[in-house]
Structure 1
Amino acid sequence: MTEFGDFISALGEFGLYQKWLVLFLSLPLLLSPFQMIGQVFMVVDVPHHCNTSWIRAIGPNLTEEEQLNLTLPRDAGGAYEQCSMYSPVDRDLGSIMAYGLNATEKCSSGWVYPSAPPPSLLTEFDLVCDRKDLNDISQSVYMVGLLLGAMIFGPLSDRVGRRPVFLMSMLLQSLFGVGIAFVPHFYVYMAFRCVVGASVSGILITSLALATEWVGVSSRPKAVLISHCFVAIGQMLLAGLSYGIRNWRLLEIAGSAPMFALFFYIWVLPESARWLVTKGRIEEAKKLLQKAASINKRTVPPGLLEQLKPETQTKSGSILDLFRKKHLRKVTLIMSCTWFADSFVYYGLSLNVTSFGLDIYLTQFAFGAVELPARYCCIFLLQWFGRKKTQAVLLLLSGLMCLVITGIPEDQPIATTVLAVIGKFTATASFSTSYVYSAELFPTVVRQTGTGLCSMSARVAGIMAPLIRLLGQYHRAIPMAIFGSAPVVGGLLCILLPETRGTDLVDDTGVATPELRWVPRTLNLTQKNSKRANIMQREICQKPERKKYHLFLFLSCLQQQKSGNYWKV
C-alpha cells in the first residue's frame, strides 16, 4: 500500500487547508491559561481580621478602633493579629475596658476585610488562616483533572476519533467553565475545576494529533508550535484582562464564555484522515483528502487515490502495546520521564520566580512574553538540530539553571531572577519539543494513548511541584536542587531515543524505526523548480554517508523537469 505521506505530499504539506486547521486548533488554546493560572488573580491577599461583632451586644456605641483594641491581640510588630482574637466573655463593658481580655482563640465567627476589596475567591469563601491551604489544594485538584483527562481522552481519541473528543472537550470546558462563576460553595468550585482540567487536557492532546496527522514531515514542528504560541499569547491576555476585571466571577465568565463562539467547529473541523485509514474507513478518508487538495488548489492523482486501502496487518492498539513491544516500551518510559521532568521544572520555576520587582499583573505578562519566543524558536531548533539533540540539550540547560540558582546568595535577587528566566525559557521550549517528539515517536493506532500516558506523568509532576516547595523550610536550596536534578536525568535519557526529523509518521505498532523520507514521495519539479530543487537537495543530503548516492538520485530527478512527470523514490 502507498504510504499515507504520499497523499499529504500530493495535496500539499502545509497548504491553506492545513493553515486553517492549525488556526482552528489554536483558538481554544488562547483560553487555556485562564483555566490553568487564572486563579492566581482570584486569590489576591488582602488585610483581614477576625469578626468580633460579639462585643457590639455589650457596647453598641463603641467605635471601630475601640472594638478592635478590646477584642484583637497584637503581634510583635504592633499590628492586629489576622487569625486570632480574644475569647468572648459574659462580662459588662466597663469590666472589659478596666481589666481587658486575656484568653485567645481562633476566629470563630468569620473574618472582616476592612479595605472592602472587589469580590474574590479569598474574600467570598474566606480562604485565609486555617482555610488558606484550600487555595493550594484547589490547584492540585485542577492538576488531578488534567491527569484524569489524559487518562480518559487519550485512549478514547484512539478509539472514537480525534474530532469527537476535541468537540466534547470544548463543550465540557465551556459549560463547567461558565458554571464555576455561579458556584455557591468552594468545594463545588473545586469539583468544577477538576472537570475543566480534564477538558483542557483533552483539547491539548487531541489538537496535537490533528495538527501532526494532517501536515507533512517538514511542517510538523511548525504546526504544533504555532498552536503553542497561542498559549503564550493567552497568558499575556490573561494579565491584561485580569487587571481590568477584578471581580472573580466576571473574570471566570470572560475566560470561559468565548468558547461557546467556537461551536461552529461542528461543521468545519475535520477528522484525521490518517486515523480513518487505520480504522478502514477509506471512503471518508478519500473525501477529506480531496477536499483538502481542492482548498490547497492541488489535485490528487486518481491513480494515487485508488491505492488508498486499509492495511490488513494494522490492528487497533491498546495501552498494553506500549509495554508489550520492546521498542515502544523504551519510547514510552523515556518520554514519560521527559514529560515528568518538563512539567516538574516548568512549574517549579514558575512558582519560585517572584523577584522581578513588578506587581502580579506585569509579572504574568513577563511570563507570557518569555514563553512566546521560547515556543517560536523551537520551530527552527527542531529543523536545524533534530528532535533528540534539541530535547536533550534544553532539558539539561533548564536543570543546570536550577542547580546554579542553589549556589546564588539570597542577597542577589537579580542574578537569581535572570537565571530563573533563562531556565523558564528552556523549560518552556523543552515542553513544546516533547509534544512534537511524542507525536512522531508513537504509532497512529496508539498515538493518543501514548501521548496521554506521557501527559499523565507530567500532571503527576504538576501535583508534586507545590509539595516540593514546602521542603524549603528546612533549607532554601533543597527545592531548586530537586527541580534541577530531574531534567538533568531526563535529558541524559533522551540520548537513547531515535531521531525522527525527516521521517514519516508510523501507523502500525509493529514498525520499530520510522522511515526516513529522503526525498518527497510525490514531487512536481516543473513548479518552482529552483526552490524545490534546493529543498530536495538539503533533504537527500542530510547524512554524509549517503550523500553520494542520493546526489545521484537528485541529478537524475532534475532531468525530469522538461517532461513534467511526478518523480517518486
Structure 2
Amino acid sequence: MGPDENEQKIEFERVLNQELGEFGLYQFRNILLVLLPAIFSGFMAGDYIFTAGRLPHRCAVPICDDRQQEYAPNWILNVIPETATGFDDCSRYANTTQIPESLLNGTCPANLFDRNNIISCDSYVYERTNTVVYDFGLECQEWLRALAGTLNSMGAMIALPLAGFISDVFGRRISVVFFGFNVALVGCIRAFSVNYAMYATLQFMHTAIGGGLYSAGYILATEIVGPRFRIYTSATMSSTFALGQALLGLIASAVLEWRNLSLVLFAPVFILISYYWILMESHRWLLSKNKTEEAKATLLRGAKLNKKEIQESHLNFLLTAIPKQNKSNTGERNLVYRVLKSRVMLQRCCTTPVYWITTTFIYYGLSINAVSLSGNMYLNYILVSLIEIPGYWTAVLVLDRVGRKVTLFSGYFLCGICCFAFAFTPKSLYGISLFLYLLGKYCTGVVFTSLYLFTTELYPTRHRHSFLGFSSMMGRIGSVVAPLTPPLMVYWSGIPSVMFGTMAVLTAFLILTQPETRGRKIPDTFEEAENIK
C-alpha cells in the first residue's frame, strides 16, 4: 500500500466516522438484529452434545430384572463388575448353572453368577432413553457416537471458505439469510433421521452449509461500527454466542427427547429469512463492490437514524474513495515465496496456527466434557457456557493495560494449571472440581478474544485476512479432535483434562517466542511485519 493510498484510506475513515457516526441507532439496530443469528449459532455448535449424548446403561440381567428394569438396583455389584466410576457399562458376570425358579422381589444373590467369567451384554437397561444412542443402538460404541461431534467440526472447516465466498460475492445480508435458511432446514430434517448414518451425514451438512451464519453476522456487525467500538462489538457477539450455548442447555433440560429438541432449536431459525427485508447491508461492502446507488441509500438512511446529515461533497467522496480491489493472484503466489524466504515470518506462520489449534481444542473439549461432570449435566453445561462471557470482557479491559503476550501467557498457563488440578481432584469434592473447571473455561474466553487481536496485529494489512484465515482454518483441527476425548475417560477420567492442560502450558511458553504488539503501529507492509521485534 503506497503513501497516497494509505492517506486516502485514513481520510476515508475520518470522513465516514464524522458524517455517519461511529455508533448510533443505525449501528445499534443492526447489531441487535445479528445477535439472533449468534444465538442460533450457539445452538448449532453444541446441540450434538445432547442429541448424541452418552446414555448411562448396563447389561440387562433377565433372571433378576423385573418389568420395571431399574438402572441401578441395590444388587447391581453382584451381577456387574465394579469400576472406578461405578459399574461396567458393557459386560456382566456369566450365570452359574444354579438358576432358581423364582427370586424374592428386589434380590439377586451373588452366588447366581460366576465372578471369574465376564461376558458381553446381550441387551441393555437404560437410565434414560432420549438420545440417538438408544434409537440407533449405539451402546458400547463410544467412538462411533463421538463421531457426530467430529463431523460437526469438520463441517465447520468446509463452512469457512464457503462463508467467505458467499459473504464477499453476495453480501453480508444475503449471507445471513442463506446460512440461516440452511441451518433451519437441515436441523429440522435431521430430526426425522431413520438411522445413525443419516443423522451423522446431516450433522456434517448442518455446519458445512450453515456454519457461516455466525461469521456473516460478526463481519457485518464489526464493519458498520467505528474503530473505537469494534472490540466492544466483537466481545458482544462472542458473549451472545456463549449465551446461545447456555440457552441450549436450558432448552435441553426442558425438551429431553432428541427429535423434539432438534425441532424446538432449529424451526425458529426460519425467521432469519425475514432479514432479507429488515437487515441493512454493510455500507463498507456496498462501497467496496462499487454499488454506488445502494451504498448511497444505506449511508443516507444510516445517517438519518443517527440524526446526522451527510454533506454532498463528503458523500461523493465516500462513494469514490475506496480503491478498486486488486484481483490478481500474483500477490498471493509471491506471498508464499516471501514467507518461505523470511525466517521471522515463517516462524510466525508455524506458531500462530498452534495457538488456534490449542484454543479450539480446549474450548470445545471443556464444553463437550462438561456434561460428564458430577451433578446436574444441564446446569454444568449452562455454567460452563456462561463463564466465557466475563472472560471475553476481561480481555477487553486488560489487553491495552498489560499487553497481548502477558494476557495470553497468563490465560493459557492458568488454564493449564486448572485442567491439571481438576484431573487429580476427587469427584466427591464437587465444589472444588467445578470451580477449577469453570476457571479453566473462563481462561479460554480471555484467550479467544486476545488471540484474534494478537494474530491480526502480527501480519501486514494487505495479507492480514489470508494469514488470519490460515490460522483459523488450522485451528479447526482442535475442534475436530475435541469430540473424541470423552471416550478416553473409559481408561481414566482425567485423560482429557491432562491433554488440555499439557497443550495449554506448552502453548503458554510458545507465546513468548512472539513480539509484543501493544502500542505498536499495525504493519501495513510485509517488511513492517518482519521488523516487529
C-alpha deviation, 1:37, in angstroms: 2.1
Answer whether contact 1:85 1:106 (CA < 8 A) is retained.
Answer: yes
Out of 205, 224, 244, which is 2:215 matched to?
A: 205
Partner of 1:336: 353
Out of 504, 507, 511, which is 1:491 matched to?
A: 511
State the alpha-carbon separation in 2 of the partners of residues 500 and 285 from structure 1. Answer: 34
Structure 1 position 421 matched with structure 2 position 450: no
SS in 2 for 1:298: coil
State the alpha-carbon separation in 2 of the partners of residues 152 and 395 from structure 1. Answer: 31
Partner of 1:220: 230
Structure 1 position 274 matched with structure 2 position 284: yes
State the alpha-carbon separation in 2 of the partners of residues 118 and 133 from structure 1. Answer: 19
C-alpha deviation, 1:145, in angstroms: 0.9
Partner of 1:33: 42
Partner of 1:127: 138
Structure 1 position 260 matched with structure 2 position 259: no
SS in 2 for 1:126: coil
| Structure-to-structure mapping, 1:26-105, within 5 angstroms | 26-42=35-51, 43-49=53-59, 74-76=79-81, 83=90
State the alpha-carbon separation in 1 of the partners of residues 448 and 236 from structure 2. Answer: 14
Structure 1 position 364 matched with structure 2 position 381: yes
TM-score by length of 1: 0.72
SS in 2 for 1:13: coil
- Structure 1 pair 188–12 and aligned structure 2 pair: CA distance change class (3 A): same
Partner of 2:390: 373
Kindly provide the CA deviation profile for residues 466-495 of structure 1, in whole angstroms up to 9, marking residues without a partner as x.
5567399488585244232343145324x4
How many pairs does the alignment contain? 491
Partner of 1:6: 14
Answer whether contact 1:146 1:197 (CA < 8 A) is retained.
Answer: yes
TM-score by length of 2: 0.76
Partner of 2:301: 291
State the alpha-carbon separation in 2 of the partners of residues 440 and 251 from structure 1. Answer: 42
SS in 2 for 1:264: helix
Kindly provide the CA deviation profile for residues 221-247 of structure 1, in whole angstroms up to 9, marking residues without a partner as x.
111111111122222222221111111
Partner of 1:482: 502
Q: Which consecutive residues of structure 1, in runs of 5 or more, have no partner in the other structure?
A: 56-61, 67-72, 514-569
Answer whether contact 2:81 2:91 (CA < 8 A) is retained.
Answer: no
Kindly provide the CA deviation profile for residues 25-63 of structure 1, in whole angstroms up to 9, marking residues without a partner as x.
2211212232222233332524353597xx9xxxxxx97
Answer whether contact 1:345 1:399 (CA < 8 A) is retained.
Answer: no
Amino acid aligned to 1:291: R
After TM superposition, the structure 1 stretch with the greater mean CA deviation from structure 2, 443-452 or 276-285, is: 443-452
SS in 2 for 1:496: coil
| Structure-to-structure mapping, 1:311-460, within 5 angstroms | 311=323, 314-315=326-327, 320=333, 323-324=336-337, 326=339, 333-351=350-368, 357-382=374-399, 384-385=401-402, 390-402=407-419, 414-437=431-454, 449-460=466-477
State the alpha-carbon separation in 2 of the partners of residues 219 and 208 from structure 1. Answer: 13
Answer whether contact 1:355 1:413 (CA < 8 A) is retained.
Answer: no
Amino acid aligned to 1:238: L
Out of 145, 154, 178, which is 2:155 matched to?
A: 145
Partner of 1:522: none
Amino acid aligned to 2:136: F
- Structure 1 pair 425–213 and aligned structure 2 pair: CA distance change class (3 A): same
Partner of 1:175: 185
C-alpha deviation, 1:208, in angstroms: 2.9
Amino acid aligned to 1:167: V
SS in 1 for 2:137: coil
Answer whether contact 2:49 2:149 (CA < 8 A) is retained.
Answer: no
Answer whether contact 2:56 2:89 (CA < 8 A) is retained.
Answer: no
- Structure 1 pair 242–502 and aligned structure 2 pair: CA distance change class (3 A): farther
State the alpha-carbon separation in 1 of the partners of residues 232 and 506 from structure 2. Answer: 28
Answer whether contact 2:179 2:210 (CA < 8 A) is retained.
Answer: yes
After TM superposition, the structure 1 stretch with the greater mean CA deviation from structure 2, 481-490 or 216-225, is: 481-490
Kindly provide the CA deviation profile for residues 438-461 of structure 1, in whole angstroms up to 9, marking residues without a partner as x.
567777876665544333222201
- Structure 1 pair 253–440 and aligned structure 2 pair: CA distance change class (3 A): farther
SS in 1 for 2:175: helix
State the alpha-carbon separation in 2 of the partners of residues 76 and 87 from structure 1. Answer: 11
State the alpha-carbon separation in 2 of the partners of residues 341 and 395 from structure 1. Answer: 9
C-alpha deviation, 1:373, in angstroms: 1.7
C-alpha deviation, 1:281, in angstroms: 3.8
- Structure 1 pair 480–440 and aligned structure 2 pair: CA distance change class (3 A): closer
State the alpha-carbon separation in 2 of the partners of residues 448 and 250 from structure 1. Answer: 40
Answer whether contact 1:49 1:111 (CA < 8 A) is retained.
Answer: yes
Partner of 1:533: none
Answer whether contact 2:403 2:516 (CA < 8 A) is retained.
Answer: no
Kindly provide the CA deviation profile for residues 62-92 of structure 1, in whole angstroms up to 9, marking residues without a partner as x.
97699xxxxxx9334599985458999xxxx
- Structure 1 pair 481–386 and aligned structure 2 pair: CA distance change class (3 A): closer
Answer whether contact 1:403 1:481 (CA < 8 A) is retained.
Answer: yes
C-alpha deviation, 1:249, in angstroms: 0.9
Partner of 1:567: none
State the alpha-carbon separation in 2 of the partners of residues 65 and 361 from structure 1. Answer: 26
State the alpha-carbon separation in 2 of the partners of residues 500 and 21 from structure 1. Answer: 31
C-alpha deviation, 1:265, in angstroms: 1.0
Partner of 1:523: none
Answer whether contact 1:48 1:82 (CA < 8 A) is retained.
Answer: yes
Answer whether contact 1:401 1:484 (CA < 8 A) is retained.
Answer: no
- Structure 1 pair 202–37 and aligned structure 2 pair: CA distance change class (3 A): same
Kindly provide the CA deviation profile for residues 189-222 of structure 1, in whole angstroms up to 9, marking residues without a partner as x.
1111112223453123333322222211110111
Kindly provide the CA deviation profile for residues 508-567 of structure 1, in whole angstroms up to 9, marking residues without a partner as x.
877956xxxxxxxxxxxxxxxxxxxxxxxxxxxxxxxxxxxxxxxxxxxxxxxxxxxxxx
Amino acid aligned to 1:220: R
After TM superposition, the structure 1 stretch with the greater mean CA deviation from structure 2, 476-485 or 426-435, is: 476-485
State the alpha-carbon separation in 2 of the partners of residues 337 and 500 from structure 1. Answer: 25
SS in 1 for 2:160: helix
